[in-house]
Structure 1
Amino acid sequence: MQKGTLEYEQALDAVIEILRSRARQGAAPIPYGELSGELARLGHHVPAHEGPMPYLLEDASIRESPDGSLPLLSALVVLKDSGWPSGGFFKLARRAPYTRPGDDVVLWTREIQKLAEHYCGH
């Protein structure tokens, strides 16, 4: 699955929809494997920890918040063992235009809260 292809764009749309739905239900994190399984059920073969997954997650956040004003959807996707996002999330969150402040704990906790507020309207 190559970035820029129809297959990639359709998988990206599916990732965004899954994560928006998660955010609307209170922004409970989803492990990579579970996200991969949901994508497979929708006909998209995206391995949990290789291939296009990191690009899809970054692109989902960028498409949803190109100017950095909205919370990052990829904050919802976590490693099963630690319950934390991968380093890629933190790199994106600290990069312009996002430039989220705080250490990893503060940054991630705040991003999850903002996702719940934005998508649930609480």
Structure 2
Amino acid sequence: MKKNTLEYEQALDTVVEILQNRARGGAAPLSYGELSTELAGRGHQVPSYEGPMPYLLEDASVRESPDGSLPLLSALVVLRETGRPSGGFFKLARRAPYKRPGDDMELWVEEIKQLAKHYADR
């Protein structure tokens, strides 16, 4: 699956939908493997740790918050081993226009809170 193809865009739409639904349900994180399994169940073969997954997660966040004003959906996807997002999430959260403050844990906890709040009534 390559970026800027119909297949990628359809998978991206599905990632956004899955993560928005998760945020609406209280913003409980899910692992990369769980997301990969959900995607496969919807017809998108996206390995959990390679290929397009990191790009899909970044693009899901950017699509939903291009100006940095909304919480980042990719905060919901965590490493099974640590229960926290990968380094890619923190790099995205700290670059412009997002520039989220705090150490990694503070930043992530706040993002999860904001996701739950933002999507509670949607």
With structure 1 as the length reference, what TM-score do the two structures score?
0.98
Query: Structure 1 CA distance, aligned partners of 2:5 and 2:16?
Result: 17
Q: Partner residue of 2:52?
A: 52
Instruction: Kindly provide the amino acid, as one letter, of the partner of residue 100 in structure 1.
Output: R
Gaps spanning 5+ residues in structure 2: where? Answer: none
Q: What residue identity is the alignment partner of 1:20?
A: Q
The 5 Å alignment of 1:25-64 reads 25-64=25-64
In structure 2, give the amino acid aligned to 1:50: E
Identity of aligned residues (%): 75
Paired position in structure 2 for 1:2: 2
The normalised TM-score by structure 2 is 0.98
Deviation at 1:67, TM superposition (A): 0.2
- Please report the RMSD computed on the Cα atoms of aligned residues, expressed in angstroms: 0.4
Size of the alignment, in residue pairs? Answer: 121
Provide the C-alpha distance between the structure 2 equivalents of 1:8 and 1:115, rounded to a whole number of angstroms: 24
Structure 1 residue 56 displacement after superposition: 0.1
Structure 1: tracts of 5 or more residues without a match: none
Q: CA deviation at 1:107?
A: 0.2
1:106 aligns to what? 106
Structure 1 segments, 4+ long, off by >3 Å, are none
